Structure 1
Amino acid sequence: MKTDERPILIAGGGPVGVVTALALAKRGIPVKVFEAQTEINDSPRASTLHPATLEMLAELDLLGEVTTQGLVARTFQFWDRPARRLVAEFDHAILAQDTTCPYVVQCEQHKIVKMCIDKLAAHPHASVSFGTPVESVETHADGVAITVAGANGSERFEGSYLVGADGGRSLVRKALNIAFDGYTFPERFLVLTTPFDFGTEHGVAFRAYFSDPDEWANLFKVAGDDGKGRWRAVFPTLPGQTDEEVMSDEACESRLQKFFPKTGRYDIFHRNIYRVHQRVAVRFREGRVFLAGDSAHVNNPIGGLGLNSGIHDATHLAELLADVRAGKRPESVFESYDAIRRPTNIEYVQQQTIANKKRLEERDPAAREANFEALRKTAADPAAHRAFLLRTSLIESVRKIKAAAE
């Protein structure tokens, strides 16, 4: 069998895995996706899609569906939580000359996964298998093979290349003995989902960040599966707190009432607590195996950059794989994947998300006010406002990569 006839194997059927699969399938390349879970995970996870990412999704014919099923969020805000004071608001409309999508869309990642799987169904050379975790990885000079666990026992699949998009605990990454450098924050993050409308009641934008030396917070609005709207509130927990101390009915109610007091109790549709990491794999490629998304890098969610960076990995990698399989470029071009994606993640995702968290949790009064003043001045100056958004929306990172390739 010729190398080009073998499928590209993808470990992980989350958003990065299925976007990679769709980008390849649309180019006529056979793909097989293997997802460990038995169904699409619809628990509250990433939802923010930045302008640069929306442009990539448009090339996959996903923009219309993403916009319809999500919420358009042109603006985002920074607040001084103790003073209940709006500090600064940024408007993506200022990027109208820089992008065809001068806005953010809040679209839950499980919706993106379903959209991609639905589109993959139109490609007979593509398949997605649930309940099939990858158990082992074999690498060869001219191909790869994986063993997956299924309902009928273990099964072996051969392919031309393997994409590890199987999350922060990636078996693919571990099988290749690739270190995952970085650290884990001592505090965990709590997410509470409520239908209470913070926008109507308090003027909060669909994306809002609250600085507080005692307890910073974030608020995001998503459409929800019923389209009626849900707000996600994110808070840090104290190191050492038990799940019961953090997630009990009274603890969650008390936290929301402290955040924005209201008459009557909050309806809480969902609650979740999770550990947060800042880690980057020491390399994103080993021979014919590539890492993408959380298997290659993880970060705190402040700024909504993790999912976006993963989708950027997916589209970048799909283009390289397609060009090499078509004979347009030599296999040596794969060296650029690690050389570009890894430093780009460090500069535009790791550095920004770490800085975002430090800004929100700053305890020194003078430093807090200096941060606020810098945000006000940036928002008030059109040139600085635009430059700030070019970076936070990842347009700058995409431009930098294109310029380096020319």
Structure 2
Amino acid sequence: MPYEERIAIIGAGPVGLTTALGLARRGVPCVVYEAGETIAREQRGAAFHPPTLEMLRSLGVESALMGMGLRIPVWQMRDRVDGVYAEFDLGLLADVTDFPFRYHLPQYYLSNVLLDELRRQPDVELRFGETLQSVETDGNSARLVLSTAAGQSETHAPWVVGADGARSTVRKTGGFTFDGFTWREKFLVTNVRGCLEDLGYTGTAYVSDPDAWAVVLKLYDESCDDLWRVAMPADPDTDDDALLTPENVQERLKEVLGTDKSFSLVYSGTYRVHQRVADTFVKGPILLAGDAAHINNPIGGFGLNGGVHDAFNLANRLADVWQGKAGPELLELYSRQRRTVALEVVQKNSIRNKNLMEERDPEVRRRNQKALRDISLDTEKSREYLMETSMISSIRRAEQVN
């Protein structure tokens, strides 16, 4: 049975590839296993917050990324009936970040940029078409069982990083728990062509309504200048075939966007949303990051960004351990720091955001909207709010955890 003298990373999404590049920049050898044959072109995360861009710059991929994408400095809070009640301008944070905007770029673009860079690294091996079946540990190393089209194989690695998403095999077979809950409704997600600026929307907008709330994002796409993503609630008791008929999707879009206009549909799909956090992100040589460690609803853009933050933190700490600059207890610090952020920031704020948008009590809804409007009109309060929503405060919070 072979023993890899390299760190094993399971999953070639943004989190796994960021971890690999972080290790490579420190001269640490690693091998990335990915079940798919190529990078998946999924309808997933598409908005990067300022600290994420700062981390990616430090990894040397800023120029490749910034040649694509959309800079969105201003985002809105809207009521479906009454329109905009608050706007926030990330330009207020220009003194604390070089990236005072949200950067909209579907995550597979980042994955491909990272992959191109990793292919130039001598200490990184990329193995596509290899699926992890299980991982276990004797406390000193990890045993991996993998399958390919040619059959099954086993290997050992001194460390294994589970960056294999919400259905993580590393987490499931590595002995972690994943407590939390599942939201009752489904999310109906669409990509549409059309100029929503004509309807008053900025590139990021959150539409509040008890039954027809929405998250609206302008997307970057190399073949389409006016591509937008609209995510909205869907009845969990209605079959997907009915939910996804073009007629139903068009009616839902008209309802949440407040228009009689029909849109050119590029994509429609549904998914269930969970709020869960693993009991720990470290069990001996088995480590978790990104969706494998914590998942949340997408309102606020915390999932993809939090996963990259995990990867950046983990890669640096794992490199220190690998190079003998620290003991394995440094990885427990990674777990404490990033799990604290997952619980105190990502879970709390994503749940708060969803509850705010779908509040049913008219008086509570008016009170909430007034509070946000007041914050938006006060420069200092806006700065504090933007520090939190941009995840800059979450990085500082992690650094406070010992």
Please tell me the TM-score bracket, short chain as reference.
over 0.9
The equivalent residue for 1:38 is 37
Give the distance between the partners of 1:293 and 1:328, measured in 2 at CA. Answer: 25
Structure 1-normalised TM-score?
Answer: 0.95
Deviations 1:279-337 (A, max 9, x none): 00111110011000001000000000000110111000001111111111122212112
Conserved 8 A contact 1:210-1:217: yes
Residue number among 332, 335, 340 corresponding to 1:338 in the alignment: 335
Shift of 1:259: 3.0
Aligned partner of 1:179 in structure 2 is 177
Are 2:363 and 1:366 equivalent residues in the alignment? yes
**CA distance, structure 2, for counterparts of residue 57 and residue 94 of structure 1:** 22
**Which among 86, 108, 127 is matched to residue 125 of structure 2?**
127
Which consecutive residues of structure 1, in runs of 5 or more, have no partner in the other structure?
none
Segments of 4+ in structure 1 off by > 6 A?
none
Task: Tell me how far apart the structure 1 counterparts of residues 168 and 223 of structure 2 sit (CA, whole Å).
Answer: 32
Quote how far apart the aligned CAs of 1:202 are: 1.3
Give CA deviations for 1:332-360 in whole Å, capped at 9, x if unaligned.
21211221111111111000000000000
Decide whether aligned partners of structure 1 residues 267 and 227 sit closer, same or farther in structure 2, where only a CA change above 3 A counts: closer
Matched, 1:214 2:214: no
For the 8 Å contact 1:67–1:107, the answer to whether it is kept is no
Of residues 303, 306, 323, the one that matches 1:306 is: 303
> What is the letter of the counterpart of residue 322 of structure 2?
R
Instruction: Give the counterpart of 1:87 among 85, 101, 106.
Output: 85
2:68 corresponds to 1:52: no
Counterpart selection for 1:322 from 319, 334, 344: 319
Output the CA distance in 2 between the equivalents of 1:358 and 1:348: 15
- Residue identity in the other structure for 2:351: I
The AA in structure 2 aligned to 1:222 is L
Contact 1:181-1:279 at 8 Å conserved across structures: yes
Q: SS of the residue aligned with 2:185?
A: coil
1:153 to 133, 151, 159: 151
In structure 2, distance between residues paired with 1:263 and 1:235: 17
SS across alignment from 1:340? helix
SS in 2 for 1:275: strand
Question: Does 1:274 find its partner at 2:271?
Answer: yes
* Equivalent residue number for residue 253 of structure 2: 256
Per-residue CA deviations over 1:119-161 (Å, capped at 9, x if unaligned) read 0000122122222110121313332231211121112232220
In structure 2, give the amino acid aligned to 1:246. Answer: L
Match of 2:13 in 1: 14
Matched letter for residue 184 of structure 2:
P
Contact conserved, 2:340 with 2:398, CA < 8 A, in 1? no
Partner deviation per Cα, 1:68-105 (whole Å, 9 max, x = no partner): 2211111110001022x111110111011111211110
Q: Which amino acid aligns with 1:330?
A: G
CA distance in 1, matches of 2:247, 2:232: 15
SS at match of 1:46: coil
> Retained in 2: the 8 A contact 1:49–1:308?
yes
Query: Does the aligned pair in 2 maintain the 1:66–1:105 contact within 8 Å?
Result: no
Task: Tell me the distance in 2 between the aligned counterparts of 1:288 and 1:23.
Answer: 18
SS at match of 1:9: strand
**Paired residue for 1:143, among 135, 141, 144?**
141
C-alpha deviation, 1:217, in angstroms: 0.7
Output the CA distance in 2 between the equivalents of 1:124 and 1:360.
48
Counterpart in the other structure of 1:294: 291
Equivalent residue number for residue 76 of structure 2 = 77
TM-fit CA distance, 1:264: 6.0
CA–CA separation in structure 1 for the residues paired with 2:292 and 2:238: 28
| Letter paired with 2:71 | V
What CA distance in whole angstroms lies between the structure 2 residues aligned with 1:190 and 1:394?
Answer: 26
Return the alpha-carbon distance in structure 2 between the equivalents of residues 365 and 261 of structure 1: 19
Normalised TM-score (structure 2): 0.96
- 1:355 lines up with 2:344 in the alignment: no
Taking the aligned partners of 1:141 and 1:385, their CA distance within structure 2 comes to 48
C-alpha displacement at 1:65, in angstroms? 2.3
1:221-263 deviation per Cα after TM superposition (whole angstroms, max 9, x unaligned): 1111325241001110112111012101111111122234656
Question: Contact conserved, 2:45 with 2:106, CA < 8 A, in 1?
Answer: yes
Q: Which of 373, 376, 379 is equivalent to 1:376? A: 373
- 1:399–1:196: structure 2 CA closer, same or farther, 3 Å change rule? same
Distance 1:337 1:264, change over 3 A: closer
Q: 1:399 to 1:263 in 2, by over 3 A?
A: closer
Question: Residue 403 of structure 1: CA displacement?
Answer: 4.1
DSSP-derived class of the 2:184 partner = coil
Give the alignment of 1:231-246 within 5 angstroms. Answer: 231-246=228-243
CA distance in 2, matches of 1:261, 1:400: 39
Q: How far did 1:67 drift?
A: 2.3
Go from structure 1 to structure 2 and tell me whether the alpha carbon gap of 1:263 and 1:372 turns closer, same or farther (over 3 Å shift): closer
Q: Gaps (5+ residues) in structure 2?
A: none
Q: Is the 8 A contact 2:81 2:258 kept in 1?
A: no
- Cα distance between partner residues in 2 of 1:64 and 1:364: 47
**What is the rounded CA distance, in whole Å, between the counterparts of 1:331 and 1:309 in structure 2?**
23
| Residue number in structure 2 paired with 1:195 | 193
Which of 58-67 and 85-94 deviates more?
58-67
